[in-house]
C-alpha cells in the first residue's frame, strides 16, 4: 500500500507541474491569436477610442506577463476570476456546464466500457472467427466516421422518426430518467466513437497473453476456453485495458465539442471554443485547467488501479 | 435493415475478391515474396487490394476522373445518372471526380502528416528512452502537458494563429499526433533498451544515432506500424472535425474530410451523398488496419495462431 | 511395482505448421507406459520430446497437429475423443509439470488458488482441498507448507515453485504425470531437492510418469526406462541400467562421450596478470552485491567464476566491463587501471575486453544480418571497409566453422541456438580483444552443442592467446575448460585457485556442496548422496530464484 | 460570430428618412400564410432556434453583437423609436419627436409605461439609458453616435438632446437596437440587469444556450405580444437547426443552408419565409493596390463572374442578381434598367488586354464569416474566372478573427452589407472618398461631387438622374463586385402566422417576430 501512496503523491506533484505548463502554453497561444477581447467584442463598430476604453476597463493594456501573474495568483487562491466578455464569475459559468459534461461522459462510458470489454473478450475468445473479423471491421468503420456525421445519421434514424429528441434541452427540474432519455443520442454517438479503441485494445491485450506458458498450463489443466480467458488471461491483461479506458474517458470529457454543437448540449467544450474566438483568456485558461486536471487525474487513477491489480507490484518478496 | 443487408452483400462480395487477389499475387510475384503472400489471411489480402486500388486511383486521378476536380459541370445536387454517375455536389461539380481527386489529396495529406508525426514522435521517444534521466523526464513531462490539452481545441488554436494552408494543416496535425506517437515509441523503446544487444552495442562505444537507427528502431517498428495504421486514418477525421469548426483544407481542393462536412446536412433528408466520402474513409481505415493487424501478427512471431 | 498398460502410443505422427506446409516433428513413434512406471525421454532441443509428452495428453500445441497413429490412455482413444472429453481427463487423470514453473504459474493468482482450481471444478470441497494441498506441500518438503500456498508465484523461489507445481499436478491423484524438464532451470543444489521430492512423491502415489530432459545424469536418477529421441525418431529404448551400461546406437554413445571432453592445461601464468580485479565492492541502490572481490586473469588462461544464481558472478562481469562502476576497488588492465565507467574508456580499452552473453537470442539484434552483426566491430575498431571488411567477416565465419557463403546474409532468427552462440563469439573476436568474458555461454545449449562451443573457444584461445573469464554454474563445464577457479557465494569469493587443487579435497563446505551436487551417471547417485547428507535436503541450500 | 457585429456596424445607420417608406421592401406572403391570415390569436409558446448566441454573450446593451442578443433584447426591451414593417419610424417610448433646427431634438416620453419590475418609465431612466453609450469611458458599440451630442437633459416629460451640428437623421440613430430603455438609478443603468419595458419578461437566461420569457401582463401595446411564452435557443449547427424544426422542437429558425431549402420545402413540414431587401454580398477590391488600381482589371473581374449561377447556387434562388449596385430594388432611385453584366469571358479577356495583360492571377480571401456560402461563392467565382483566363486563387481564412485580420486588410476579400434604405446613406457609408466603411478604398471625384449635390437637390427628376449616374459610376468604375442581393431566409412551423408585411429592415421581422407574430 505504502508504495502506492508514495506513487500517488509523486504523480500528483507531476500533475501540478503539468497543469502549470498547460496554463503557460494556453496563455501563450491565446496571446498569439490575432486580435484581442476588446476588438472582438466590439467587432467592426470598434473605433480606436472605444477599443482603448474597453482595454483600459479590462486591464488588457497591461503587459502579458503581468496579466498572467495576476491570473496565476488568483487561481492559486482558488479564484478563477470573472469572464471579461460576459462579466460573470467564471466559476458560475463553468459549474453547470462541467456537471453536464461529466454527466454525458459517465453516461457514454457506462455504455461503452462494458460493451467494449465484452466484445473484446469474445473477439479474443473466438479470434480470427467470423465474429472477430466482423466486430473488428465494424468497430473500425465506426471510428472512421467523423463524430458529427455519426450524430447526423443517428438523428436521421432515431430522431426524425420521433424516438428520441434531436436536440438536448436540460432543465434543473428534470428527473434522472428524463435526463437519460434526452441525452441518449449524444451518449450513443460517443459510445460508437470510443468503443472501437477500447475493444481492440482488450482483444489485443488478451491475445498477447494467450501464448504465455501459464495459459498453456491452464489448457493442460483441462480448463474451458472461456474460463482460461476470463480467469487466467484477463487479470494479467488489465493494465493496458485500464489505461486505454482512462484515455477514452479523458477524451469523453475533453474532446466532445463537436457532439455538443450537434446536439446543442451545454457542455464545457462549446464554452471553450466560444471563449477562444472571443479571446476571453481567463475562461479559456480555467477550462483548459479543468480539462488538463481531468486528464491527469484519470491517468493517475489508471496507474494506481493497474498497480493494485498487479500482485508483483503490490507484494514484494 | 437495408444498411445491414448492404453490408452483408459487400462482405460476401469482398471475400472472393480478396481470394482472387491473393491467388494472383501468389502466381505473379517472385517466389520469396509469394510465400509471404500465400500465408496472408483473406482480410489482409482484401486490405492490400483496397489500398492498391486507392493508390492506383490517387496516382491516376486525372486520367480516371471523368471531369476536372473543380469545374462546375452541372446544376447542384443532380441525381445519379449516366453522365454524372454519382450526381453532382452543392456547387454542381461532378461527385465521382471529386471523390477520385479526393483520394489523391486526402491520402497524400494524411500520409505526409502521419509520416511526419512518426518521424518526429518516434525519434524523440526512442531518444528519451535511450538517454533516460533528465532529458527523458523533461521531454515526457512536456509531452504530457501537451497531451493534457484537448487535441481538437489545441489544433484549433494553432491553426487560427498560423492560418490554414495545407502546409500548416499538415504541420499542426502532425505536431499534435507526434505527442501520442512519442508516448508509444518511448514505452516500446524502453522494452528494447534493456536487451543484451543494446548493452553490447553500448560497450562497443556506439553513438546514440547508430543505436537509435540500427539497433532500436528496427525492433520497435511493429507496434509503431500498428499505431501508424490508426493515426493515418484519424487524420481524415481530424480534418473533417476541423472543417466542422470552420478550418480545414483550402477549397476548392477536393478532400474527403471536408466533403463529408460540406454535404453532411443532406443526411438529414436521407440523401446518401455524404455517405460516399465517409464510406471511402471508412473503407480505407478498415483496409489499412487489416493489413496492419496482419503485419503485427507476423511480427509477433506468429503468436496468434489461427 | 509396475502394473498394467496405462498409456499406449502407436506409430504416432505429429506435424508442425511452416506457412502453408506441414513439416514432420514426430514420425512414427511407439510408446507404452505401465502404471507406476517412470519413462525417461531424452533428446536435444528439437528432438520432439516435449511434443511427444504433450501428445500423451492428446494435446498438440498451436500450429501442430497429430497426423497419424494411435494414442490410447487407459482404454480411451485420445485421438477420437472430443475436446470436452479430453479436457475432463487433463488435470484430473493426466497432469503436466512444465519446465519453468516461474512462467507457468499464473502471476495473478495465489498458489493455493491455482492448486484448488481443478479439484474444486471436479467437485471437491475447497477446505479439504486446501488441507490436502498443505500435506502435499509438506511431502514436497516446501518450507512453511501451511502458508506458502497463500503467496503469489513471484514471492516464491524457483526450486520451491517447481515443487509447488508438482504438488499441483498431484492434486487430483492423476494416473500419469508428464514432467517437462522440471529441473533444467534450477541451480544444481536446488535441483537435488526437487529431484528427490519428485521421485518420492511419484513412488508414494504409484503414479506413472514421463520424465522429459536433456540431462542424462538426471534422468538416470528418475527413470525406470529411457527412450532416446533424435529429430522425431526413436534412437533406442532400454531400461535405465542397461542403457547406461552399454548404449547401442552411435548417437547414444556420442551423448555419453560429451562428458569426456577435457582441455589440456594452459601454459602456466608468466609475468603480470592481464586483468586484476582489486577489492571491488559494488551494488545497486543501497544494497552491496559484491563485497571485496579480488582475483587475477592471466593472458592465455581461463578463469572460471563459479556460483549459483544470486552469487554475484555476473555482477563482477559488469564491473569489469564498466557497466557498473564499483564503489571501492578498481580493475587494472595490462598494468593501467581502467576508468570505472565504460563511457569514460577509450575506444581501444573497450576493444580489448569483449563479452559473450548467455542468451544469444537477446544478445544478437534480431533485425541485423550477420554481415553487419560481425562486421560492425571490425569496421568500428579497425576501420575496415568494403572488400577488406567483407573478407574479414568471411574469415571470422570460417573461424567459427560456419560457411560464409550460406550464412553471411542471414538473420539470427535463421540460425540454431548453437550457431547463434558462435556468432556471439565471432562478434567478440572481430574486435581482436585480449580478454573475452563468457557469461554462461553454454548453459542454454544442448550438451553436444556445448561441446562444440567449448572446443571452439579452446581452439581460439590457443590460436590468439586469448584470456577468458568464464562465468558458469555448471561444474562439468568448469572441469572441461578452466585453468583457475573462483568460487563465489553471496557476492564473496569463498575459494579460488588452480583447477587441480580446487577439485581435490579438502574443500570449503560450499565448494563441497557444489561439487557433490553435480549429478552423476550412476542411477544410485542420488540415493547415496541423500543418505550421505542424512536426508537433510535443505542442507546449505541457498535461497535461490529460478532462472527461466 | 463577428460577422454579426459587422452586420450591426454596417447597417446601424441604415434607417429611414422622415416618412420615407421602403418602396417594394417586405414580403409577398406565401399562400399558406394568407390562408392563415386572420385576427391575431393569443397563446402558445413560441420557440426560436437561432444560428447565433455564444456562451460568452453578456448583458451590456453596448456590446450586443449578434442576432441572438438582438432578438433577445427586442423581446424584453423597448426603444425610443421603433421601425415598423413598412420601414417607417413609429413612436415607441418616445410618443413624438421634433426639432426646429436639427440641432436640438425634443423627445416626448410616453406616460403610463412601466418596467417589468413595476417601476414606471421616467425621463431619468431614458436619459440614463442614453448616457450609458455616451462619454469617453463608454464602451458601447454606438459610442460615436453620441460624439456630436453636447447635452442631454430633462424638461418635464421631455428629453432634450442638443447636438453640436444639425443632423436631420438623428431620430433614426435613436431607433438603434442598442438603445434599449432600462431602469436607471442616479443617472446610471445597471448594464447587467434584464429589466426592461418590453413585451416579455425574462424568466431564465443561459448565455449561448437558451432564454425563456413570459408575456409581460401589463405591456402597454395592447395589439402586440400574442404568445404566452417565448423561448430563444442558440442552435449554431445548421443541421441541428433543421432537425429541431422538422422534429417540432422549435417553431422558427434562421440561416438555412440554401442547399437544403428545396428539400425542406419538399418535406412540407415548414414554411419558408424569403424576404427580399437591400442586403447584398460583395467582393471589395482594394482600388489603391495593383492590379485593382486599373479599372480594366476590375471590369474584367466583373464580367468573369456568373451572377445568375451564384443566385441559384449560393442563395438557392432566394435572392436577385445585382449589377454591382449597392442600391437595391427596395430603394427609391434604384436604377433598374442599367445594362446588365452577363457572364462574358471574351469581354473579360478584352478588358484584360486593355489593361495590357493576357492573364491575371489574384488571391481571393474568403471565410463563411463574410456571408454564409462565401467560400462556395469564391469557388464558383474562381471557376468562371478561369474560363476568362483569370486565375483566382482561393484563400480560406478562419472565421475566427476574419473581420480583424482580413476584411479591409487583404486586397481582395468577401464581405456583405445589410443594405441601406436610403441611397445617401449607402453611398456616404460605403463609397464616398474616405468613408469609414469604404472597404475598397475607392475614390471618384465626380461621384463625391454628385453625392453632395444630390443631398440638397429638391427636383425629384434631377435627383433621380444624379443617383442613377452615381449607381452607374459605382457599377462600371467602382471597385466592389456585387453579384447578388440576398433575401433574409427563415423557416417556420406551419402554424406560425405573420402580419401582412414582414420587415426587410432587419432579420426576424426586424428582430420583433416575438411581438408581431402569433400562432393560428
Q: What are phi and psi of A226, to 5 degrees?
A: -60, -45
Q: Would you tell me the crossing angle of helices B256-263 and B275-299 to the nearest 10 degrees?
A: 140
Tell me what pLDDT residue C1 has: 44
Mark which of C201, C228, C257 sits at the end of a domain: C257
In whole angstroms, give the CA distance from residue D392 to residue D285. Answer: 13
Neighboring chain A residues of B12 at a CB cutoff of 8 Å: none
Q: What is the mean pLDDT of residues C504-510?
A: 81
Residues C191 and C319 both lie in one domain: no
pLDDT score for D38? 60
- Indicate the helix (H) or strand (E) that contains C55: helix C49-55
**pLDDT above 80 (res C30):** yes
Contacts of B196 in chain C (CB under 8 A): 357, 359, 362-363
pLDDT tens-digit series, residues D420-464: 667 777 887 789 887 777 888 999 999 999 988 887 777 888 989
Provide the shortest C-alpha distance from residue D241 to chain A (in Å). Answer: 9
What is the band of C20 on the pLDDT scale with cuts at 50, 70, 90? Answer: low
For residue A111, is pLDDT > 90? yes
CA B196 and chain centroid, separation: 35
Angle of the D295-303 helix axis to the D460-477 helix axis, nearest 10: 90
The reply to whether C283 and C226 lie within a common domain is no
**Is ipTM > 0.90 here?**
no
Closest Cα partner for B255 from B133, B156, B170?
A: B170
Minimum Cα–Cα distance from C53: chain A residue: A220
State the smallest CA–CA distance between residue B245 and chain D in angstroms.
9
Q: Please state, in angstroms and as integers, the Cα–Cα distance from residue C184 to each residue in C128, C159, C194, C266, D183, following that order.
A: 33, 11, 11, 31, 94
Asked if B302 has any chain A CB less than 8 Å from its own CB, the reply is no
Q: Which residues contact C334 (CB under 8 A, 6 or more apart)?
A: C274, C275, C352, C434
Chain A neighbors (3+ CB pairs < 8 Å): B, C, D
Nearest of C492, C366, C40 to residue C229 by alpha carbon: C40
Task: Give every CB contact of residue A175 below 8 A, 6+ residues apart in sequence.
Answer: none
Does any domain span residue C120?
no
Nearest CA in chain B to D265: B269
Give which of A215, A216, A217 to mutate to test C binding, by max C Cβ within 10 Å.
A217
- Residue with the three cell numbers 462480395: B13
CA–chain centroid gap for C223, Å, is 20
Both C350 and C498 in one domain: the answer is: yes
Res. C285 pLDDT band, cuts 50 70 90: confident
Mean pLDDT on D319-329 = 90
Question: Which residues on D lie below 8 Å from B164 (Cβ)?
Answer: 396-398
Task: Tell me the DSSP string of B5-36.
Answer: HHHHHHHHHHHHHHHHHHHHHHHHS-HHHHHH
Determine contact, residues B216/B198, Cβ cutoff 8 Å.
Answer: yes
Touch between D and B (at least 3 CB pairs under 8 Å): yes
Of A83, A87, A162, the CB nearest to D247: A162
Residue D89 pLDDT more than 80? yes
DSSP, collapsed to helix, strand or coil, labels residue D175 as: coil
pLDDT of residue B220 exceeding 80: yes
Give the pLDDT score at D37: 52
Is the residue at C436 inside a domain? Answer: yes
pLDDT (0 to 100) of residue B24: 84
Determine the distance in angstroms separating the CA of A7 from the nearest CA of chain C, rounded to an integer: 18
User: What is residue A47's predicted lDDT score, i.e. its pLDDT?
Assistant: 64
Do A213 and C92 count as a contact with CB atoms less than 8 A apart? no
The pLDDT of D23-36, averaged and rounded, is 45
| Best CA proximity match to A204, nearest among D245, B296, D261, D127 | B296
> Backbone phi, then psi, for A139, in 5-degree steps?
-55, -45
Q: Does the pLDDT of residue B210 top 50, yes or no?
A: yes
Is C381 a domain residue?
yes
Task: Name which residue leads in pLDDT, A278 or D194.
Answer: D194
Query: Does a structural domain hold residue C124?
Result: no
How far, in Å, CA of B235 to CA of B257, rounded? 9
Same domain, yes or no: C192 and C91: yes
Count the domains in chain C: 2
**What's the CATH code, domain B98-305?**
1.10.3720.10
| C534 confidence band (pLDDT: 50, 70, 90) | low
Q: If you search the block for the grid coordinates 460517443, which residue do you land on?
A: A190
| Residue C207 sits in the same domain as residue C344 | no
Nearest-CA residue of chain A relative to B290?
A137
Q: Please, what is the end-to-end C-alpha distance for chain A in angstroms? A: 14
**Distances B241 to A64, B245, D1, D416 between C-alpha atoms, Å:** 31, 7, 19, 27
Q: Measured between CA atoms, how close is C365 to chain B, in angstroms?
A: 6
Residue ending a domain, choose from C230, C257, C284: C257
Tell me whether residue C164 is in a domain.
Answer: no
Q: Give the HSE-up count for residue C271: Cα atoms under 13 Å, Cβ half-sphere.
A: 8
**DSSP secondary structure letters along D266-286:** HHTSEEEEEE--S-EEEEEB-
What is the mean pLDDT of the segment spanning C442-450?
79
My answer on whether C239 and C386 are in the same domain is no
Q: What is the CA radius of gyration of chain D?
A: 23
For residues C7 and C208, is the Cβ–Cβ distance under 8 A?
A: yes
Query: Which residue numbers of D have CB closer than 8 Å to B's CBs?
Result: 238-239, 242-243, 246, 257, 259-260, 263-264, 267, 309, 312-313, 367-369, 375-376, 378-380, 382-384, 394-401
Residues C428 and C475 occupy one common structural domain = yes
- Spatial separation of the C-alpha atoms in residues D370 and C542, rounded to whole Å: 83
Q: Which residue of B has its CA nearest to A288?
A: B149
Same domain, C310 and C400: yes
**Mean pLDDT, residues D109-121 taken together:** 92
Asked if the Cβ–Cβ distance from B197 to C364 is below 8 Å, we say: yes
| Per-residue pLDDT tens over the stretch A68-79 | 888 888 888 877
Strand partners, D283: D481
User: Nearest 10 degrees: CA dihedral of B181, B182, B188, B193?
Assistant: 150
In a domain, C433, yes or no: yes
**DSSP three-state, residue C215:** coil
In a domain, residue C463? The reply is: yes
Expressed as residue numbers, the domain containing C247 is: 5-102+176-257
- Mean pLDDT, chain A, integer: 84
The shortest C-alpha distance from C98 to chain A (Å) reads: 8
Q: What is the pLDDT of residues C152-197, one digit of tens each?
A: 888 888 888 888 888 898 888 888 999 988 887 778 888 888 888 8
**What's the rounded Cα separation, in Å, for the pair A107 and A229?**
28
Please, which residues have CB within 8 angstroms of residue D465's CB and are 6 or more apart in sequence?
Answer: none
Nearest-angstrom CA–CA distance, D412 and D440: 9
Q: Are residues C314 and C458 in the same domain?
A: yes
Least confident span in B60-64, D257-261, D508-512: D257-261
pLDDT of residue D282: 93
Task: Determine whether the interchain pair B39/C19 forms a contact, defined as Cβ–Cβ distance below 8 Å.
Answer: yes
How big is chain C by its Cα radius of gyration, in Å?
25
End-to-end CA distance of chain C: 35
Q: Does D70 touch chain A (CB under 8 A)?
A: no
Strands of C94-185 (E only): list them: 94-97, 176-180
Give the 3-state secondary structure of residue C468. Answer: strand
Share of chain A above pLDDT 70, in %: 95
Amino acid at each position: 500500500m505504502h508504495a502506492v501512496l508514495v506513487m500517488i503523491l509523486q504523480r500528483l506533484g507531476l500533475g501540478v507541474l503539468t497543469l502549470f505548463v498547460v496554463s503557460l502554453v494556453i496563455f501563450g497561444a491565446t496571446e498569439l491569436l490575432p486580435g484581442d477581447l476588446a476588438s472582438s467584442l466590439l467587432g467592426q463598430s470598434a473605433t480606436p477610442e472605444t477599443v482603448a476604453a474597453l482595454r483600459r476597463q479590462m486591464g488588457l493594456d497591461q503587459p502579458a506577463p503581468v496579466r498572467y501573474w495576476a491570473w496565476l495568483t488568483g487561481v492559486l487562491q482558488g479564484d478563477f476570476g470573472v469572464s471579461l466578455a460576459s462579466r460573470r464569475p467564471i466559476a458560475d459559468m463553468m459549474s453547470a456546464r462541467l456537471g453536464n459534461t461529466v454527466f454525458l461522459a459517465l453516461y457514454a462510458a457506462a455504455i461503452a466500457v462494458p460493451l467494449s470489454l465484452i466484445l473484446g473478450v469474445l473477439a479474443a475468445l473466438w479470434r480470427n472467427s467470423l465474429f472477430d473479423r466482423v466486430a473488428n471491421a465494424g468497430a473500425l468503420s465506426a471510428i472512421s466516421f467523423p463524430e458529427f456525421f455519426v450524430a447526423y445519421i443517428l438523428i436521421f434514424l432515431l430522431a426524425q422518426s420521433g424516438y428520441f429528441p434531436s436536440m438536448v434541452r436540460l432543465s434543473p427540474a428534470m428527473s434522472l430518467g428524463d435526463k437519460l432519455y434526452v441525452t441518449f443520442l449524444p451518449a450513443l454517438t460517443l459510445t460508437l466513437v470510443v468503443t472501437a479503441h477500447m475493444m481492440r485494445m482488450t482483444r489485443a491485450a488478451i491475445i498477447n497473453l494467450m501464448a504465455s506458458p501459464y495459459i498453456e498450463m491452464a489448457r493442460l489443466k483441462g480448463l474451458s476456453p472461456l474460463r482460461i480467458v476470463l480467469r487466467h488471461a484477463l487479470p494479467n491483461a488489465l493494465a493496458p485495458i485500464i489505461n486505454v479506458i482512462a484515455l477514452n474517458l479523458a477524451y469523453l470529457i475533453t474532446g466532445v465539442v463537436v457532439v455538443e454543437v450537434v446536439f446543442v448540449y451545454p457542455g464545457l467544450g462549446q464554452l471553450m471554443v466560444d471563449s477562444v474566438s472571443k479571446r476571453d483568456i481567463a475562461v479559456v485558461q480555467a477550462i483548459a485547467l479543468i480539462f488538463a486536471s481531468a486528464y491527469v487525474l484519470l491517468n493517475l487513477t489508471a496507474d494506481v488501479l493497474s498497480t493494485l491489480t498487479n500482485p508483483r507490484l503490490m507484494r514484494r518478496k | 435493415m437495408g444498411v445491414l443487408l448492404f453490408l452483408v452483400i459487400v462482405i460476401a462480395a469482398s471475400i472472393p475478391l480478396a481470394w482472387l487477389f491473393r491467388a494472383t499475387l501468389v502466381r505473379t510475384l517472385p517466389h520469396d515474396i509469394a510465400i509471404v503472400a500465400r500465408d496472408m489471411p483473406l482480410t489482409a489480402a482484401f486490405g492490400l487490394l483496397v489500398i492498391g486500388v486507392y493508390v492506383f486511383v490517387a496516382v491516376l486521378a486525372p486520367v480516371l476522373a471523368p471531369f476536372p476536380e473543380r469545374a462546375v459541370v452541372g446544376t447542384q445536387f443532380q441525381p445519379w445518372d449516366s453522365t454524372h454517375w454519382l450526381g453532382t455536389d452543392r456547387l454542381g461539380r461532378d461527385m465521382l471526380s471529386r471523390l477520385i481527386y479526393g483520394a489523391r489529396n486526402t491520402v497524400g495529406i494524411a500520409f505526409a502528416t502521419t509520416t511526419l508525426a512518426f518521424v518526429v514522435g518516434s525519434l524523440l521517444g526512442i531518444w528519451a528512452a535511450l538517454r533516460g534521466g533528465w532529458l527523458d523526464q523533461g521531454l515526457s513531462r512536456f509531452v504530457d502537458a501537451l497531451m493534457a490539452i484537448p487535441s481538437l481545441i489545441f489544433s484549433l488554436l494553432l491553426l487560427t494563429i498560423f492560418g490554414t494552408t495545407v502546409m500548416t494543416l499538415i504541420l499542426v496535425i502532425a505536431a499534435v499526433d507526434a505527442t501520442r506517437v512519442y508516448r508509444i515509441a518511448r514505452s516500446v523503446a524502453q522494452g528494447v533498451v534493456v536487451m543484451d544487444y543494446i548493452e553490447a552495442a553500448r560497450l562497443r562505444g556506439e553513438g546514440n544515432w547508430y543505436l537509435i537507427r540500427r539497433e532500436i528502431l528496427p525492433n520497435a517498428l511493429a507496434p509503431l506500424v500498428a499505431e501508424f495504421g490508426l493515426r493515418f486514418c484519424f487524420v481524415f477525421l481530424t480534418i473533417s472535425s476541423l472543417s466542422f469548426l470552420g478550418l480545414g483544407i483550402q477549397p476548392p481542393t477536393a478532400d474527403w474530410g471536408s466533403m463529408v462536412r460540406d454535404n453532411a446536412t443532406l443526411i438529414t433528408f436521407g440523401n446518401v451523398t455524404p455517405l460516399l466520402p465517409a464510406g471511402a474513409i471508412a473503407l480505407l481505415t478498415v483496409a489499412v488496419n487489416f493489413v496492419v493487424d496482419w503485419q503485427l501478427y507476423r511480427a509477433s512471431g506468429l503468436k496468434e495462431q489461427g | 511395482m509396475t502394473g498394467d498398460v496405462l498409456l499406449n502410443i502407436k506409430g504416432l505422427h505429429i506435424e508442425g505448421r511452416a506457412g502453408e506446409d506441414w513439416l514432420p516433428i514426430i514420425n512414427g513413434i511407439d510408446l507404452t507406459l505401465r502404471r507406476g512406471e517412470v519413462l525417461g525421454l531424452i533428446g536435444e532441443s528439437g528432438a520432439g520430446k516435449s511434443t511427444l509428452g504433450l501428445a500423451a495428453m492428446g494435446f498438440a500445441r498451436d500450429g501442430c497437429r497429430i497426423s497419424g497413429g494411435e494414442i490410447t490412455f487407459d482404454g480411451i482413444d485420445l485421438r477420437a475423443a472430443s475436446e470436452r472429453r479430453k479436457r475432463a481427463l487433463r488435470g484430473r487423470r493426466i497432469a503436466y509439470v512444465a519446465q519453468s514453473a516461474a512462467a507457468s504459474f499464473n502471476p495473478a493468482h495465489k498458489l493455493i488458488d491455482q492448486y484448488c482450481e481443478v479439484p474444486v471444478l471436479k467437485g471437491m470441497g475447497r477446505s479439504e482441498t486446501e488441507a490436502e494441498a498443505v500435506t502435499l506441500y509438506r511431502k514436497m518438503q516446501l518450507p512453511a507448507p501451511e502458508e506458502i500456498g497463500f503467496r503469489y508465484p513471484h514471492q516464491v523461489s524457483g526450486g520451491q515453485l517447481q515443487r509447488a507445481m508438482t504438488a499441483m499436478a498431484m492434486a487430483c491423484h492423476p494416473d500419469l504425470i508428464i514432467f517437462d524438464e522440471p529441473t533444467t532451470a534450477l541451480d544444481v543444489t536446488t535441483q537435488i531437492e526437487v529431484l528427490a521430492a519428485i521421485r518420492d512423491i511419484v513412488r508414494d502415489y504409484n503414479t506413472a510418469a514421463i520424465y522429459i530432459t536433456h540431462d542424462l545424469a538426471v534422468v538416470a536418477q528418475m527413470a525406470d526406462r529411457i527412450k532416446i529421441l533424435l529429430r522425431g525418431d526413436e534412437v533406442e529404448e532400454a531400461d535405465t541400467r542397461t542403457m547406461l551400461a552399454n548404449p547401442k546406437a552411435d548417437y547414444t554413445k556420442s551423448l555419453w562421450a560429451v562428458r569426456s571432453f577435457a582441455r589440456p592445461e594452459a601454459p602456466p601464468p608468466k609475468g603480470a596478470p592481464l586483468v586484476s580485479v582489486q577489492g571491488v565492492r559494488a551494488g545497486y541502490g543501497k544494497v552491496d552485491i559484491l563485497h571485496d572481490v579480488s582475483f587475477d586473469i592471466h593472458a592465455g588462461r581461463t578463469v572460471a567464476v563459479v556460483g549459483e544464481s544470486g552469487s554475484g558472478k555476473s555482477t563482477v562481469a559488469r564491473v569489469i566491463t564498466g557497466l557498473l562502476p564499483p564503489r571501492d576497488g578498481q580493475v587494472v588492465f595490462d598494468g593501467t587501471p581502467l576508468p570505472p565507467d565504460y563511457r569514460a574508456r577509450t575506444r581501444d580499452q573497450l576493444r580489448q575486453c569483449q563479452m559473450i552473453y548467455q542468451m544469444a537470442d537477446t544478445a544478437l539484434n534480431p533485425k541485423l544480418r550477420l554481415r553487419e552483426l560481425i562486421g560492425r566491430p571490425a569496421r568500428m575498431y579497425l576501420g575496415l571497409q568494403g572488400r577488406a571488411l567483407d573478407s574479414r567477416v568471411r574469415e571470422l565465419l570460417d573461424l567459427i566453422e560456419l560457411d560464409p557463403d550460406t550464412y553471411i546474409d542471414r538473420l539470427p532468427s535463421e540460425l540454431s541456438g548453437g550457431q547463434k552462440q558462435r556468432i556471439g563469439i565471432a562478434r567478440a573476436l572481430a574486435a581482436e580483444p585480449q580478454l573475452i568474458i563468457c557469461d554462461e555461454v553454454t548453459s542454454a545449449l544442448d550438451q553436444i552443442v556445448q561441446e562444440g562451443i567449448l572446443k571452439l573457444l579452446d581452439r581460439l584461445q590457443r590460436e590468439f592467446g586469448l584470456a577468458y573469464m568464464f562465468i558458469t554454474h555448471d561444474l562439468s563445464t568448469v572441469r572441461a575448460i578452466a585453468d583457475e577457479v573462483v568460487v563465489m557465494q553471496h557476492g564473496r569469493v569463498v575459494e579460488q585457485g588452480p583447477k587441480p587443487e580446487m577439485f581435490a579435497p579438502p574443500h570449503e563446505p560450499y565448494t563441497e556442496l557444489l561439487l557433490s551436487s553435480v549429478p552423476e551417471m550412476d542411477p544410485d547417485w542420488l540415493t547415496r548422496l541423500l543418505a550421505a547428507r542424512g536426508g537433510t535436503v535443505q542442507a546449505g541450500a541457498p535461497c535461490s530464484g529460478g532462472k527461466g | 460570430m463577428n460577422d454579426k457585429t459587422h452586420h450591426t456596424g454596417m447597417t446601424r445607420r441604415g434607417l429611414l428618412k422622415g416618412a420615407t417608406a421602403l418602396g417594394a421592401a417586405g414580403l409577398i406572403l406565401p399562400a399558406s400564410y394568407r390562408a392563415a391570415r386572420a385576427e391575431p390569436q393569443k397563446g402558445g409558446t413560441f420557440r426560436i432556434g437561432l444560428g447565433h448566441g455564444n456562451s460568452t454573450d453578456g448583458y451590456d446593451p453596448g456590446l450586443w453583437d449578434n442576432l441572438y442578443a438582438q432578438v433577445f433584447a427586442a423581446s424584453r426591451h423597448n426603444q425610443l423609436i421603433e421601425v415598423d414593417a413598412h420601414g417607417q419610424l413609429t413612436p415607441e417610448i418616445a410618443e413624438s419627436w421634433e426639432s426646429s433646427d436639427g440641432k436640438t431634438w425634443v423627445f416626448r416620453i410616453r406616460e403610463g409605461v412601466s418596467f417589468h419590475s413595476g417601476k414606471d418609465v421616467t425621463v431619468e431612466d431614458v436619459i440614463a439609458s442614453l448616457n450609458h453609450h455616451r462619454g469617453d469611458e463608454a464602451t458601447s458599440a454606438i459610442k460615436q453616435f453620441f460624439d456630436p451630442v453636447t447635452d442631454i437633459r430633462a424638461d418635464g416629460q421631455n428629453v432634450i438632446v442638443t447636438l453640436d451640428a444639425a443632423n436631420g437623421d438623428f431620430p433614426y440613430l435613436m431607433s438603434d437596437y442598442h438603445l434599449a430603455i432600462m431602469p436607471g438609478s442616479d443617472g446610471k443603468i445597471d448594464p447587467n440587469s434584464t429589466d426592461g419595458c418590453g413585451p416579455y419578461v425574462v424568466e431564465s437566461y443561459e448565455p449561448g444556450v437558451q432564454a425563456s420569457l413570459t408575456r409581460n401582463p401589463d405591456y402597454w401595446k395592447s395589439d402586440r405580444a400574442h404568445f404566452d411564452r417565448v423561448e430563444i435557443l442558440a442552435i449554431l449547427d445548421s443541421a441541428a437547426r433543421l432537425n429541431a424544426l422538422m422534429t417540432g422542437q422549435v417553431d422558427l429558425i434562421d440561416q438555412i443552408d440554401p442547399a437544403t431549402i428545396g428539400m425542406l420545402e419538399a418535406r412540407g413540414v415548414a414554411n419558408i419565409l424569403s424576404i427580399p431587401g437591400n442586403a447584398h454580398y460583395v467582393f471589395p477590391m482594394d482600388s489603391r493596390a495593383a492590379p485593382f488600381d486599373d479599372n480594366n482589371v476590375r471590369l474584367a473581374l466583373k464580367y468573369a463572374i456568373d451572377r445568375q449561377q451564384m443566385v441559384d447556387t449560393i442563395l438557392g434562388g432566394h435572392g436577385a442578381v445585382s449589377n454591382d449596385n449597392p442600391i437595391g430594388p427596395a430603394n427609391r432611385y434604384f436604377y433598374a434598367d442599367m445594362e446588365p453584366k452577363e457572364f462574358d469571358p471574351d469581354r473579360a479577356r478584352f478588358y484584360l488586354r486593355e489593361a495590357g495583360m493576357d492573364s491575371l492571377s489574384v488571391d481571393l480571401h474568403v471565410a463563411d464569416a463574410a456571408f454564409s456560402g462565401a467560400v462556395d461563392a469564391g469557388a464558383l467565382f474562381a471557376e468562371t474566372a478561369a474560363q476568362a483566363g483569370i486565375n483566382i486563387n482561393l484563400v480560406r481564412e478562419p472565421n475566427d478573427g476574419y473581420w480583424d485580420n482580413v476584411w479591409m486588410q487583404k486586397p481582395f476579400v468577401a464581405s456583405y452589407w445589410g443594405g441601406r434604405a436610403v441611397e445617401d446613406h449607402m453611398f456616404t457609408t460605403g463609397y464616398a472618398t474616405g468613408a469609414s466603411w469604404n472597404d475598397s478604398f475607392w475614390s471618384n471625384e465626380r461621384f463625391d461631387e454628385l453625392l453632395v449635390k444630390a443631398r440638397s437637390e429638391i427636383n425629384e427628376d434631377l435627383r433621380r438622374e444624379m443617383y442613377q449616374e452615381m449607381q452607374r459610376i459605382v457599377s462600371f468604375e467602382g471597385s466592389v463586385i456585387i453579384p447578388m442581393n440576398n433575401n433574409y431566409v427563415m423557416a417556420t412551423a406551419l402554424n406560425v402566422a405573420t402580419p401582412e408585411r414582414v420587415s426587410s429592415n432587419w432579420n426576424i421581422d426586424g428582430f420583433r417576430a416575438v411581438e408581431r407574430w402569433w400562432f393560428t
